[in-house]
Chains A and B, each alone.
Chain A
Amino acid sequence: MNPKRIKALQLAFIVFASLIVGRAIQLQVGADSRLERLAKRQFGSKITALPRRGLIFDRNGEGLAISLKVRSLFFRPEILKKEVSASERTRILFNLNRILKMPLNELRSKMNSERGFVWVKRQLTENEEQSIRRLGLIEYGDSIGLAEETKRFYPNKDLAAHVLGTVNVDGNGLEGLEFLYEGILNGDEARITSNKDAMGRRIFKDDRGLLAFRDGQSLVLTLDKALQYEAEKGLKQAIDDYQAKSGSVIVAEVETGEILALANTPTYNPNNAKSASLESRRNRAITDAYEPGSTFKPFMVAMALEKGRTPKTQIYCERGSFKVGDRIISEAEAHEKFEWLSLGQILKFSSNIGAAKIALDLGPAPVTQLMDRLGVGKKTEIDLPGEASGFIDHKELRSPVRLANVGFGHGFTVTPLQMLTYYLALANGGHWIQPKLVKAILSEDPDSLERGAIRWKLGHRFDNPKNKKIFSPKIASQITTMLETVVEEEGTGIKAQLAEWPVAGKTGTAQKIDQQTFRYSKSKYIVSFAGFAPAKNPKLVALVVLDEPQKKLYASDTAAPTFREIMRAGLLRERVPPTDSKVRLLQLANKTSIDGLKASAFSATQKTKPADFRSLEKPSKTPKGIEQATSLELEVDEKQSRVRLPDLTGLTLRESLKVIGSQPLEIEVVGSGFLREQNPAANQWLKAGSKIKLVFGNK
């Protein structure tokens, strides 16, 4: 080849190579904003890291609210119309219609929307998401996609619904603790910048973005899931049995004021809160103030003791009718015509006139002082939103009629939670403790909690900053002794009596205001029972409130037995050892043989009159709590040495034994609660030494 040609070719190659190298240097080294923009779009990536909402646990680390990642389906209608053919769009519509069970018209209008972004369905179920992926419905570029979101789940469904509250579709708290602790549970999201390689894999440049990221913190509640369930079950049973409109139950630990259970009926499932009525979503235990009725009497008596009266102080109860101004105060039941009653008896028989006279005797100033000390008309400031404060008009206490009304718990209102705190104070030797629902906020990874409750790292503990003394320990102890008699024989609260533990408590049957006449109704009541156990060394305090029971009107027949069931479940759950000698009787009662029972309950009688029937002595008065029991009498035929038992159905074991008295019958006792069955049947003549079987149950 011609050397000149070779040199020319070499020169051409060098020039060409120089141009390429020069261009490469220009592109790589020289600044070019257009290229920079293109590269950023192609390789850059921004991720929004969504925080996980904090979990909610009960006091034993059992999950009450958990968040999971779910997917939501969206359209980008503009891109969809440009990039996807009409036939494909139709296929997408029909498939989504089948999978999501959404109307075609709705789907079509979303697909044809003028907006740039439209949610098709938020928070898909697992099956829906899988079906969408399987059919390839999201393989149309950016036009259709699945976005990651979190969804709140409440694994125990309606359990503690009013305490937990609920969240909206965006995961923001709407009610209950979810609302109150929104800032703590929600966490902080973070935007992180990264690069992508040719394969689309992310290359993180630094962790600056992650520093701002914070998962939501978790809450540990004071609630005990198992006891909460028992409280809800007991309350629902009572609402059904007595056909009440609604009700509330609160159980708290005496020493700390921690709420172990807070239940309301009607209730709702927070997993599906949208379909629940507003009525069922109301936390009545803190929002519904009511006139407490007789459950307030112990505090009036406590004030009388503080002002120098003694438990033996006698008050004349006017034989059932007491005129104050132009009003006549009577006892709860017309047949009750009490004369002289001690302060303790006023509580035991729940005398309205006695309590009214105590209030009148005290005068407006001490009663106002009492209300202030208890905090009537002031919120307890429990960690729940929407708490009511109750109401009292202190000026009205100057009127004797109003003052007398306040004596037996009318003329002012409190919430169930407020009333519970008053009994909590009595149980605590006169110290009022602020109730609380949140035990701690976890600062550690909540997953460690689920692996073992002991390893909790508590970020923040809640103290009781507002504790205060409202009565002296001596007065609290005297009131406790009086309240124990309420749950003993002849007391109004006998159906709250527990076999294993002594109970101190008080019934309350308060008339409601008739919304039409604006007078106290004679058929609408709010019944309640408040108390604590074991009486002398209390561990738990509880309150049961039922609104307008229809089947039985009085607290002694409705709220008291409900309290008994819930308190028993609580004491067993808290592993409180039985403290009462009554256990022995009940242990004997559980035996299928009569020998033990005869040996203990009837031995004395048998020694003197081994095979004779004796007429039952009638009690001196007929207090309402055991009215049914004492009005039932045996028919005794002493000549033929035989006896006829009445129908004992519905009585407790104690009441049944009281009716049978010391007659020499062999009694076999099965179960506990109320008598469901007696064999032989009622009203049959039984010979001395005959066997009778009494079957007890809860219904």
Chain B
Amino acid sequence: MRGKHFAIIALVTAMTFAFVWVRLRIVSTSYDINTLSKQERSLREECNTLSLKINEAKSPRRLEQLAATKFKMGPPRPGQVVLLEEK
């Protein structure tokens, strides 16, 4: 009889601990999700900013200016463009 009571008390205690543990895990996971979401948003913003900078750097006007001034390049003259056929 005494052993049966002990078993019930142990089970209830274990269930209580399990419940508390699960609740704590939920809160902890929620914190993690929150932190990662912030990190993701921040990285995404950084990615967008970099993407803007890449697109600004690839602007045809800028590239043409660089090609002309830095590398002394110009548009090809007739006959200078040779297109190779794919085989």
| Interface residue ranges, A against B (CB under 8 Å) | 62-63, 66-69, 153, 155-157, 159, 197, 201-204, 225-226, 229-230, 447, 450, 499-500, 569, 572, 575, 577-578, 583, 586-587, 589-590, 671-672
> What are 27 inter-chain pairs, A to B, with CB distance below 8 A?
A63-B52, A63-B55, A66-B51, A68-B48, A68-B49, A69-B48, A153-B52, A155-B56, A156-B59, A156-B60, A159-B60, A197-B27, A201-B34, A202-B30, A203-B27, A204-B34, A229-B60, A229-B61, A447-B44, A450-B51, A569-B75, A577-B83, A577-B85, A586-B78, A586-B79, A589-B79, A672-B78
Bound state CA distance, A671 and B78, in angstroms? 8
Least CB distance from A154 to B in Å reads 9
Fill in one digit per residue for B38-64: 1 if any A CB lies within 8 Å of its CB, else 0.
000000110111011011101111001
How far is A669 from B61 in the complex, measured between Cα atoms in Å? 29
Establish whether residues A159 and B81, one from each chain, have CB atoms under 8 Å apart when the complex forms: no
A66 and B48 contact, Cβ closer than 8 Å, known pairs A202-B34, A225-B60: yes
Q: In the complex, which of the residues A197, A226, A577, A671 contacts B77, with contact meaning CB atoms closer than 8 Å?
A: A671
CA distance A157 to B51 in the complex (A): 15
Cβ contacts under 8 Å, B31 to chain A: 201, 203
Given contacts A577-B83, A583-B78, contact A68 B61 (CB under 8 A): no
Contact A203 B30 (CB under 8 A): yes
A-B interface, 7 closest residue pairs, ranked by CB to CB distance from nearest = A155-B55, A229-B60, A587-B79, A499-B78, A586-B78, A63-B55, A155-B56
What is the bound-complex CA distance between A586 and B78, given in angstroms? Answer: 6
- Beyond the given A159-B60, A201-B31, A572-B76, please list 16 additional residue pairs across the A-B interface where CB-CB is below 8 A: A63-B51, A63-B54, A66-B48, A66-B51, A155-B56, A156-B60, A203-B34, A204-B30, A225-B60, A447-B44, A500-B78, A569-B75, A586-B78, A586-B79, A590-B77, A590-B79
Taking chain B's interface residues, is the majority helix, strand, or loop, or is none over half, making it mixed? helix
Bound Cα distance from A69 to B41, whole angstroms: 10
* In contact, A155 and B52 (Cβ under 8 angstroms): yes
Please name all residues of chain A whose beta carbon is closer than 8 Å to the beta carbon of B60 when the two chains form the complex.
156, 159, 225-226, 229-230
Contact across chains for B79 and A62 when beta carbons are under 8 A apart: no
Residues of A within 8 A of B52 (CB): 63, 66, 68, 153, 155
- Interface check B80, CB cutoff 8 A: yes
Closest to A575 in B: B83
Q: Which residues of A contact B30 (CB under 8 A)?
A: 202-204
**Distance, CA A156 to CA B58, complexed state (A):** 8
> Is residue B33 contacting chain A, with contact meaning CB distance below 8 A?
yes
Shortest CB-to-CB span from B42 to chain A, Å, is: 10
* Complex contacts, B33 vs chain A, CB 8 Å: 204
Closest CB in chain A relative to B69 CB, distance in Å: 16
